[in-house]
Amino acid sequence: MSALEIRNIQKRYGDVETLKGINIALESGEFLVLLGSSGCGKSTLLNIIAGLAEPSGGDILIGERSILGAHPKDRDIAMVFQSYALYPNMSVARNIGFGLEMRKVPTAEREKAVRDTAMLLQIENLLDRKPGQLSGGQRQRVAIGRALVRNPRVFLFDEPLSNLDAKLRMEMRTELKRLHQLLGTTVVYVTHDQIEAMTLATRIAVMRDGRIEQLGTPEEIYDRPATLYVAGFVGSPQMNILDAELTGSGLRIAGEEAFPLPETFRSAVTAGRRVKVGVRPEALRLASADVTGIRLPASIEVMELTGPELVTTARIGEQRITACLPPRTSLMPGSAQVFCFDEAALHLFDAENGRSLLAR
Amino acid sequence: MSGTWISTRAWLLMLPLLVVMIGVIGWPLVDTVRLSFTDAKLVGTTGSFVGVDNYERMLTGSSFQRALVTTTWFAVVSVAAEMVLGVLAALLLNQRFRGRTALRALMILPWALPTVVNATLWRLIYNPEYGALNAALTQLGLIDSYRSWLGEPGSALTALIIADCWKNFPLVALIALAALQAVPRDITAAALVDGAGPFNRFRFVIMPYLAGPLLVALVLRTIEAFKVFDIIWVMTRGGPANSTRTLSILVYQEAFSFQRAGAGASLALIVTLLVTVLAAAYAALLRRAAGAS
Ligand SMILES: Nc1ncnc2c1ncn2[C@@H]1O[C@H](COP(=O)(O)OP(=O)(O)OP(=O)(O)O)[C@@H](O)[C@H]1O
Ligand SMILES: [Mg+2]
């Protein structure tokens, strides 16, 4: 039984189509991340699920029942906002318990629920404070507590970590993952941060211009991006995209020497077609005599040591390529090197429509 | 030291303004204090020193006491009504609907009118022979015959309060509307998801944002209402049977109608003192509210 089903949801603001038919079905306990750049309609979709906005078409089902037209409070959802949206005049305890208070839960039961939730989030000592007296991370915990305490069927998060500094964001990310593993709740989580998406999600929906570009597990999204857009959006540094041409049964990257096209692509490709080649920076190595694979001669431009790896930028003809090499690699700017990568790491996209040419 | 230099320069820069202030406020105030201890008439005699006679007569006299009650009633009722009306209007105008912008602009109109125009307008509405109020109430069958709303001691003050409210609630509404627009959308959305109904949303979520600005409106309006003069002067001149004689009207009558400058001065100072006490009380209230949030 799906916990949440989004059926062909559309949203129009005047003449502008913000959502163009979104379809997702979520099993209970799934952690769905809506990933996309600013303005692609993530918040709009979340607000429609929450009942804070009405769709122009389509349906939303929670536990097999349509909730369209139902008041937000009757949808069995809880929401965590980017701005935390804590009530500034209420204590932390009252903030967390407000939903229960409004639902007329008896005081004793409510206080116990608030205490338990605070314990889970390690904020028992903050219960008497006002939101103004909390740090960003503490406020975030309170906001999460306010959602947790009601034990709803679906949790909605709208970029909950984007107001935190980098270190705190990582901590809270781990915390969220811990909570999800512990409680097994169903989550819809909006972010434009691909690392958050990769680490938290059981499934990712990459959105673009009001459509779902690809829906899949983090592994699928990372290993088999369906389009150039997804390939470029997920992964850091970005996947290298190089112009290439097909020569009979061979592939010529950036005007270099052609190599035989790997088996997986043979059926999907016709000769003479313009294609784009994708290679993740972390799939590239420096070629030595004994390694096999596809070879790319390049001239080194810049090396940046990030600690765990040496991010190297190089030129191949007119194009740039980035490689993540082991940190102790010794290179000289301007020197000629040969990168190589396994056939399995090769991605091929149609140059016209950007779709992956991987035979499925 | 640079600190001294800066403060010297600050004083120098403020000097022109200080001179003007002392000229138009300070000196008249001092002179009023002097006058209040004399039996000076408006014309003729400059008066001689009579000690606290004026004060004693005023404070124990029935005119003053009655005017104080009238003023307090006027201020409390009209300000309370303005606050309620203003907040309701603001809540309404904060909703999304067609023509909202036009309505917002229209609402300011009464407040933008000069008081004298407003007062004349309401005198026409209340007119015993051809007033719109009489016409409306008769046609609705609520009264049998036309009444003189401003001519009867029983209704004059209420009629004045209504006219004053109509003029001044837009100010409260404007302040409240600005405050409402500062309520973060996420917070009201969170309250919706939390299941708070309209009343609870207003009380627990919106009111905290309104309280501060409304307190300022309350302070402004109470002090103004306590000093009220023009609208009453145009509509009733304190009558009938002194039923709308507020403190400011009384001061005017003492000083100018009865030409008792000394007594008028003492009364004016008493009113000034009362307003100052009010202002100070409010200032303390505001400080406490600021400290609490
Ligand atoms: N009330 C509205 N009226 C008109 N257009 C709107 C409204 N709300 C959103 N939009 C438009 O819909 C599009 C999607 O907005 P949405 O807030 O869902 O984006 P988002 O993906 O959440 O972006 P971000 O990452 O910046 O939060 C935007 O182009 C926005 O301008
Ligand atoms: Mg958004």
The 10s digit of each residue's pLDDT in B176-216 is 999 999 999 999 999 999 988 899 999 999 998 998 889 88
pLDDT exceeds 70 at position B290: no
The first and second tokens of residue A93, run together, are: 């305890």
Tell the residue nearest (CA) to atom 17 of ligand 1: A43
Given an 8 Å threshold on Cβ–Cβ distance, is A99 in contact with B189? no
Averaged over A34-46, what is the pLDDT? 93
DSSP string, A316-328: ETTEEEEEEE-TT
> How confident is the model at residue B3, as a pLDDT?
63
Given an 8 Å threshold on Cβ–Cβ distance, is A87 in contact with B200? no
Given an 8 Å threshold on Cβ–Cβ distance, is A73 in contact with B192? yes
Q: What length does chain B have?
A: 293
- How many C-beta neighbours within 10 Å does residue A293 have? 18
Helix (H) or strand (E) segment spanning residue B93: helix B62-93
* Residue B209 CA neighbour count, 13 Å, CB half: 22
A131 and A217: one domain?
yes
pTM of the full predicted structure? 0.80
A32 and A164: one domain?
yes
Closest Cβ opposite residue B200 in set A71, A86, A102: A102
Tell me the C-alpha distance between A183 and A30, whole Å: 11
Averaged over A45-57, what is the pLDDT? 93
Q: Which ligand is nearest to the CA of A81?
A: 2
Q: Which of A204, A228, A252 is the last residue of a domain?
A: A228
Partner A contacted by B189 (CB < 8 A): yes
Q: Which of A198, A228, A258 is the last residue of a domain?
A: A228
Using a CB-CB cut-off of 8 Å, the residues of chain B touching A52 are 189, 192-193
> How confident is the model at residue B292, as a pLDDT?
58
Closest Cβ opposite residue B204 in set A77, A78, A87: A87
Lowest-confidence segment of A7-21, A101-115, B72-86, B211-225 by average pLDDT: B211-225
Residue A356 lies in a domain: no
Tell me the C-alpha distance between A155 and A170, whole Å: 20
pLDDT exceeds 60 at position A359: no
Q: Are A155 and A147 in contact (CB under 8 A)?
A: yes
Partner A contacted by B96 (CB < 8 A): no
Tell me the C-alpha distance between A55 and A85, whole Å: 23
Q: Which of A228, A254, A283 is the last residue of a domain?
A: A228
Q: Which ligand is nearest to the CA of A192?
A: 1
> How confident is the model at residue B32, as a pLDDT?
86
Furthest C-alpha separation in chain B: 81
pLDDT exceeds 70 at position B291: no
Q: Which of A83, A209, A219 is nearest to A143 (CA)?
A: A83
Q: Which of B7, B37, B15, B27 is nearest to B261 (CA)?
A: B37
Q: Are A246 and A258 in contact (CB under 8 A)?
A: no
Q: Is A15 in the pocket of ligand 1 (CB under 6 A)?
A: no
Buried b (16+ CB within 10 A) or exposed e, B25-45: eeeeeeebeebbbbbbeeeee
**Residue B31 confidence class, pLDDT cut points 50, 70, 90:** confident
Higher per-residue pLDDT: B43 or B244: B244
A222 and A313: one domain?
no
Tell me the C-alpha distance between B149 and B127, whole Å: 7
State the CATH number of the domain containing residue A316.
Answer: 2.40.50.140
pLDDT exceeds 60 at position A245: yes
Q: Which of A140, A203, A150, A149 is nearest to A170 (CA)?
A: A140
**Residue A206 confidence class, pLDDT cut points 50, 70, 90:** very high
Q: How many CB pairs under 8 A join A and B?
A: 64
Residue A360 lies in a domain: no
Higher per-residue pLDDT: A188 or B152: A188
pLDDT exceeds 60 at position B1: no
Helix/strand/coil for A302? strand
Q: Is A62 in the pocket of ligand 1 (CB under 6 A)?
A: no
Tell me the C-alpha distance between B10 and A39, whole Å: 51
pLDDT exceeds 90 at position A257: no
Using a CB-CB cut-off of 8 Å, the residues of chain B touching A89 are 204, 208, 293
Q: Which residue in A87, A142, A190 has the most chain B C-beta atoms within 10 A of its own C-beta, making it the best mutation to test that interface?
A: A87
Tell the residue nearest (CA) to atom 5 of ligand 1: A13
Q: Is A44 in the pocket of ligand 1 (CB under 6 A)?
A: yes
pLDDT exceeds 80 at position A353: yes
Tell me the C-alpha distance between B69 and B74, whole Å: 8
pLDDT digits (tens, 9 = 90+) for B87-146: 999 999 998 888 888 988 898 899 999 999 999 999 999 988 888 888 898 888 888 888
Measured CA distances, B33 to B28, B222, B247, B257, B267 (Å): 9, 25, 18, 20, 10
Strands A319-325 and A310-316: antiparallel
A161 and A222: one domain?
yes
Tell me the C-alpha distance between B168 and B277, whole Å: 23
Q: Which ligand is nearest to the CA of A9?
A: 1
ipTM for this model: 0.82
A28 and A171: one domain?
yes
A309 and A193: one domain?
no
Using a CB-CB cut-off of 8 Å, the residues of chain A touching B186 are 81-85
Q: How far is B213 from chain A (nearest CA, A)?
A: 15
Residue A24 lies in a domain: yes
Task: Report helix angle A42-50 to B185-193, nearest 10.
Answer: 40
pLDDT exceeds 80 at position A255: no
A86 and A202: one domain?
yes
Q: Are B292 and B62 in contact (CB under 8 A)?
A: no
A89 and A117: one domain?
yes
A198 and A79: one domain?
yes
> How confident is the model at residue B216, as a pLDDT?
86
Residue A359 lies in a domain: no
pLDDT digits (tens, 9 = 90+) for B235-283: 998 878 888 999 899 889 888 888 888 888 888 888 888 888 988 888 8
Q: How far is B181 from chain A (nearest CA, A)?
A: 15
Helix/strand/coil for B192? helix
Chain A residue with CA closest to B186: the answer is A85
A125 and A180: one domain?
yes
Peptide bond into B240 cis (omega under 30): yes
Given an 8 Å threshold on Cβ–Cβ distance, is B293 in contact with A77? no
Q: What percent of chain B has pLDDT over 70?
A: 97
> How confident is the model at residue B2, as a pLDDT?
56
Which residues span the domain enclosing A270? 240-350
Q: Residue B66, exposed/middle/buried by CB under 10 A (0-12, 13-18, 19+)?
A: middle
Tell the residue nearest (CA) to atom 18 of ligand 1: A41
Q: Which residue in A48, A102, A130, A162 has the most chain B C-beta atoms within 10 A of its own C-beta, making it the best mutation to test that interface?
A: A102
- How many C-beta neighbours within 10 Å does residue A53 have? 18
Residue A358 lies in a domain: no
* Tokens 């932390």 -> residue: A92
> How confident is the model at residue B85, as a pLDDT?
95
Residue A289 lies in a domain: yes
pLDDT digits (tens, 9 = 90+) for A72-83: 988 989 999 988
DSSP string, A342-355: -GGG-EEEETTT-B
Ligand 2 mean position, distance from CA B172 (Å): 34
Helix/strand/coil for B244? coil
What domains, with CATH codes, occur in chain B? 55-292 (1.10.3720.10)
Give me chain B's average pLDDT, please: 87
The first and second tokens of residue A360, run together, are: 């499925």
Averaged over A117-133, what is the pLDDT? 90
Residue A222 lies in a domain: yes
Residue A54: left if φ>0, alpha if ψ -120 to 50, beta else—which one? Answer: beta
Residue A100 lies in a domain: yes
Sheet containing strand A259-260, edge to edge, reads A259-260, A250-253, A240-247, A274-279, A347-350
pLDDT exceeds 70 at position B17: yes
Given an 8 Å threshold on Cβ–Cβ distance, is A73 in contact with B194? yes
Helix/strand/coil for A251? strand
A209 and A262: one domain?
no
The first and second tokens of residue A311, run together, are: 């991010």
Strands A31-35 and A203-208: parallel
A122 and A58: one domain?
yes
Averaged over A160-180, what is the pLDDT? 88
Cite the DSSP H helix spans in B201-260. Answer: 207-226, 230-235, 247-252
Count of domains in chain A?
Answer: 2
Task: Report helix angle B207-226 to B153-181, nearest 10.
Answer: 140
State the CATH number of the domain containing residue A80.
Answer: 3.40.50.300
